[in-house]
């Protein structure tokens, strides 16, 4: 007698081209901002679990020297090459998702430079055709991740860093 055992896999949506931006600008000084277009993110639609991975060196600045200082002096990208987020969209239900964005509470753990910080924010989730879009915003402080800002430039960098996420996910088959 043969018994066939099938595995049930949760439906997942993913992207490898998610956008993550940050701004740490102070008025009257040169803008401190960068963008990455290569965040990998996965959403399990049965549970609302969301995970994201970003390589620090994928952030690009308008000024090459600023990018170099960011990677070498502040983020120590060779030693700490990635940032991760593991969280959950509270009360997420795929049946509630439509072309009109719905807000969910997003909570989880952000890990940068080996340091963790609990994040709670809102995320707007919508569906357009076969894509699920997730947009979110939150702020962190450099000291949350033991990022030391030298006194010579401290006034040129905001006390809070604003992070914006925009992910367009497709079903993983």
> Which residue did the predictor score with more confidence, 2 or 148?
148
Q: Please report the pLDDT score of residue 116 as a whole number.
A: 97
- What average pLDDT does the segment 154-172 reach? 94
Backbone angles phi and psi of 79, in degrees to 5: -85, -35
95-107 tens-digit pLDDT: 999 999 999 999 9
Give the mean pLDDT of the chain.
Answer: 92
Residue 22 near residue 59 (C-beta atoms within 8 A): yes
- What average pLDDT does the segment 53-80 reach? 94
- What average pLDDT does the segment 150-170 reach? 93
Q: Please report the pLDDT score of residue 8 as a whole number.
A: 43
Is pLDDT at 2 greater than 60 in this prediction?
Answer: no
DSSP string of the chain, one letter each residue: -----PPP---EEEEEEEEEEEE---TTS---EEEEEEEEEEEETTTTEEEEEEEGGG-B-SSHHHHHHIIIIIS-TTTS-EEEEEEEETT--GGG--SS-EEEEEEEEEEETTEEEEEEEEEEEEEETTEEEEEEEEEE-GGGGT----TTTGGGS-SSEEEEEEEEEEE--
CATH for 12-171? 2.40.128.110
| CA–CA separation, 62 and 36 (whole Å) | 12
- Confidence band of 10 (pLDDT split at 50, 70, 90): low
- What average pLDDT does the segment 41-66 reach? 96
Beta bridge partners of 126: 133
- What average pLDDT does the segment 51-78 reach? 94
126-142 tens-digit pLDDT: 999 999 999 999 999 99
């Amino acid at each position: 007698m043969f018994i066939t055992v099938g595995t049930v896999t949760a439906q997942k949506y993913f992207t490898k081209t998610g956008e993550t931006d940050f701004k740490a600008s102070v008025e009257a000084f040169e803008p401190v901002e960068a963008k990455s277009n290569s965040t990998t993110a996965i959403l399990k639609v049965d549970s609302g679990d969301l995970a994201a991975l970003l390589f620090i060196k994928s952030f690009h600045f308008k000024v090459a020297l600023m990018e170099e200082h960011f990677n070498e002096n502040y983020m120590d990208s060779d030693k700490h090459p990635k940032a991760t987020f593991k969280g959950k969209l509270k009360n997420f239900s795929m049946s509630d998702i439509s072309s009109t964005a719905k807000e969910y509470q997003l909570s989880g753990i952000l890990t940068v430079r080996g340091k963790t910080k609990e994040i709670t924010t809102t995320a707007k989730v919508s569906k357009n055709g076969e894509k699920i879009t997730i947009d979110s915003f939150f702020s962190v402080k450099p000291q949350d991740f033991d990022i030391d800002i030298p006194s010579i430039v401290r006034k040129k960098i905001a006390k809070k860093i604003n992070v914006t996420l925009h992910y367009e996910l497709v079903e993983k088959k």
